[in-house]
Structure formats: C-alpha cells, structure tokens
Amino acid sequence: MAQFKVAVLPGDGIGPDITAEAVKVLGAVAARFGHGFVYTEALIGGAAIDAAGSPLPDETLSVCEASDAVLLGAIGGPKWDTTDPNGIRPEQGLLGIRKALGLYANLRPVRIFDALIDSSTVKPEVIRGVDIMIVRELTGGIYFGERGRVGDMAYDTETYHAFEVERIVRKACELARARGTSNVCSVDKANVLESSRLWREVAHKAVADYPDIELWDLLVDNCAMQLVKNPRQFDVVVMSNMFGDILSDEASMLSGSLGMLASASLGDGPGLYEPSHGSAPKYTGMDVANPTATVLSAALMLRYSFGLEEEAASIETAIERVLADGFRTKDIFEEGRELVGTSRMGDLVAERV
C-alpha cells in the first residue's frame, strides 16, 4: 500500500468546506485502490494572520516542505482587505508559498462536461468538445517585480528572465506531448511590451528542441477574443503570470462556473493543488459552495504528484456520472435538476469512486 503525505491548508471563507469534500473523495480513492493518505492541516491566509500575525507562518511552510503535495482551499476576504502598501494581506501567503516551494508552473485545465454544456453562457456549438490546458508562469512577471509609490504616482514592474520563460515553455511542450497534441499557443503582447518581446524570442528558441511541437503566437487581447469566439482551436496555451491570471478566469466561464475549474502548481518542490475560485466568504459554512473544482484539483494531485493516473481518472469519471445523473450545486443549477449542497455533492462523487 502506497502512503502519501498531504498538507491540507483550508484557508478562509469556504476553504474549509471544500477541502473537506476533497479529502472525503480521496478517502474513497484510498478505499478502492488500497492507498494511504496522511493529512496534516496548517494555517494560511487570513486565518493565519488572525492566529499567528502572518499569512504564511514558518510552521505552515515546514509542514508543506515535509509533505508530498499540498491541497489548498481558498484565501482572503473583506475582513483583511487593505490598500495600505505596507499592510499584511492574505494573498501574500499564496504568493509566498509559491515562491518558497519553487512552483513556477500553474496548470488550469478547462474542460467542458457534456452534462453542463447548457450551463454556459456561450452557445453549445461553440464550446462542445473544448479541452484546454492553460499553462501560466507563476513566480515571475509583474506580481513579483519592483513596485512602489512616489507621491501621487504608483508603479509595478514587469520583469522576466530568459530562464523563467524557457522553463515554462518547455513545461507546456511536455504537457502537449503527454496530451498527444502538437498544438501549443504562446500568448504575449510583443507589439508593445519589451518583456513580451523577450518572451516570444525565448519561446521560439526553446521549442526548437521539440520538433514535434507547433508553437504559434497570439497577442493577449486577440486571445481574449478567440477564447470566446473559437475555443476549440486551443489545446495547450502558455502565458505570463498576469495574462494567465486573467485569461484562465475568462476561460473558466466557458464551463459555466469557476466552481468547476481546478488548478495545479508545479515546480521544484511539492506540488500545490487548489481551485481557481476565491474564498466566497458570504457562503462560509452554508453548505452551498461547489466543491467540484477542489475535488478535481485532488485528481490533478494524484496525476501529477503521485503518478496515479487510474485513480485520478476515477475521480473525473465519478464527477461526470454525478453531473449526468442530474445533481447540481447552486452555481450550476438549472430547472429540472436536483439541487444539492457542498457535503452531498462530495458524498455523491465519493460513492461513485
């Protein structure tokens, strides 16, 4: 029996509710396939600020570094919002853990479940069959560049080194190979930004080592339009930190809800897995949040950190079956379906695993 150590960081808002359901489903995987998962909970975000005065306590980082993977819920909320440039914010915990664990590649799969095709605001004939892997560079760019205020002026600096671009493009090419495709789109703003001109130059040098991969360039504003106009043209899409943050949220709405979008952050240390949505504090403890994105993130953990493809697929198939059987949480509910809460949705997926 394989044993895996998982750090669980519930975080804020609905984070504890949705991580509990992912752990529940992992328990079903353990029972079916004979694995063991050992969980250690730790604080991050606003909860950590309240308890320890830091959004990423040293103890939390130690727990993560000693684990095989990290499962995170969500962070943030109005309680901790501040415009003070020297203030402590929950988001600093997320940026900090990505940097500390060397998690430079964020994977956000955007897949349209057949049962939810009518939940999207985009026409069914446009999104049917969409299966996109967005690869976002995670530890460089404007979020980590020099910033500050001088009088009534503020600035944030976009900075990229060639090695940061090269490794994320190589990761995108490797993922394309694993998905059985040669289609990799690189998104930039090379007509305006010098950092994007470096990005495009390095991307084309890196892909030279992958003769089976066809790399094509797309300006970020055009990509935003094409994701809605013709999303099936995309397979693997690689982009900078800020562009990836924005466009992956746009792409998530093809599926009808952020509650369906999982993510994996990979790099030099243990992988970190989290839903792409926020903490939705107004729904805390109300048993209405959709745990599907977090459960799908647990499936990504099985696939990318533990190499358990069959087990990951069992979760994804179980979710397909639950949706096909007509069960819906509040965010994806439609007439004629059965409305269920957070815990019941977790039960349904676990039962089908």
Pair 99, 144: CB distance under 8 Å: yes
- 245, 137: one domain: yes
Question: Does residue 108 sit within a domain?
Answer: no
Question: Does residue 204 sit within a domain?
Answer: yes
- 271, 245: one domain: no
Pair 58, 315: CB distance under 8 Å: no
The answer to whether residue 269 scores a pLDDT higher than 90 is no
Active site residue 245: yes
Q: Give kind and range of the element (H or E) at residue 197.
A: helix 194-206
Active site residue 143: yes
- 251, 125: one domain: yes
Active site residue: 12, 17, 188, 245, which one?
245
The answer to whether residue 125 scores a pLDDT higher than 90 is yes
Give the count of domains, the chain. Answer: 2
Question: Does residue 65 sit within a domain?
Answer: yes
State the pLDDT at residue 319: 97
pLDDT (mean) for 210-215: 97
Question: Does residue 109 sit within a domain?
Answer: no
Question: Which position has the higher pLDDT, 121 or 59?
Answer: 59
Active site residue 84: no
Q: What is the 3-state secondary structure (H, E, C) of 288-306?
A: CCCCHHHHHHHHHHHHHCC
The answer to whether residue 338 scores a pLDDT higher than 80 is yes
- 124, 251: one domain: yes
State the pLDDT at residue 87: 84
Active site residue: 39, 68, 99, 143, which one?
143
State the pLDDT at residue 119: 78
User: Which of 222, 255, 288 represents a domain boundary (last residue)?
Assistant: 255
- 126, 245: one domain: yes
Question: Does residue 289 sit within a domain?
Answer: yes
- Dump pLDDT digits (tens) for 315-330: 999 999 999 999 999 9
The answer to whether residue 279 scores a pLDDT higher than 80 is yes
- 43, 98: one domain: yes
The answer to whether residue 276 scores a pLDDT higher than 90 is no
Active site residue 155: no
- 131, 251: one domain: yes
Which CATH number is 125's domain given? 3.40.718.10
State the pLDDT at residue 200: 98
What letter represents residue 218's amino acid?
Answer: L
Question: Does residue 59 sit within a domain?
Answer: yes
The answer to whether residue 226 scores a pLDDT higher than 90 is yes
- 247, 262: one domain: no
- 289, 195: one domain: no
Tokens found for residue 323: 């949706």
Domain that holds residue 163: 120-255
Q: Say how far apart CA 96 and CA 44 lie, in whole Å.
A: 10
Question: Does residue 137 sit within a domain?
Answer: yes
Active site residue: 189, 273, 304, 331, which one?
189
Active site residue 325: no
User: Which of 240, 255, 270 represents a domain boundary (last residue)?
Assistant: 255
pLDDT (mean) for 207-216: 97
Active site residue: 50, 81, 221, 325, which one?
221
pLDDT (mean) for 190-203: 98
Q: Say how far apart CA 111 and CA 316 lie, in whole Å.
A: 11
Provide the whole-model pTM.
0.90
Question: Does residue 191 sit within a domain?
Answer: yes
The answer to whether residue 103 scores a pLDDT higher than 80 is yes
Active site residue: 68, 235, 249, 287, which one?
249
